[in-house]
Amino acid sequence: MKDILKDLNKAFENRVRLGIMSALIVNEALTFNDLKSLLGVTDGNLASHIKSLEKSKYVSYIKSFIDRKPNTEYRVTELGKKAFESHLSAIERLLKG
């Protein structure tokens, strides 16, 4: 049991960060507004959780302009994908007992 718990990643303990990673794993990229709408969170809440994932190098972003409006698009990094898959595997092992 201790071995399984050590594989759980603290970065994904929060439901918003878990949601961000889940959404980005199944989509090539999502905009800030897409994530905000999908997760039902405020701008500030989403921004703080994304910043945490960026610091861990699990998420990257590209800023651009569309019709003179700023657009930020997020993607999961290879490191983020591996960390998230490891976290999900630990949860599966925990559930299987």
Whole domain around residue 16: which residue ranges?
2-96
What is the torsional sign of CA 39, 45, 50, 52? negative
What strands lie across the sheet with 59-66, from one edge to the other?
A: 30-31, 69-76, 59-66
CATH of residue 35: 1.10.10.10
pLDDT tens per residue across all 97 residues of the chain? 567 678 899 999 999 999 999 999 999 999 999 999 999 999 999 999 999 999 999 999 999 998 999 999 999 999 999 999 999 999 998 898 7
pLDDT of res. 2: 64
Q: Which distant-in-sequence residues (6+ apart) come within 8 Å of 80 by Cβ?
A: 21, 24, 53, 56, 57, 58, 59
In the chain, the number of structural domains is 1
CA terminus-to-terminus distance, the chain: 8
pLDDT of res. 12: 96
Q: Which distant-in-sequence residues (6+ apart) come within 8 Å of 8 by Cβ?
A: 87, 90, 91, 94
pTM of the model: 0.90
pLDDT of res. 97: 76
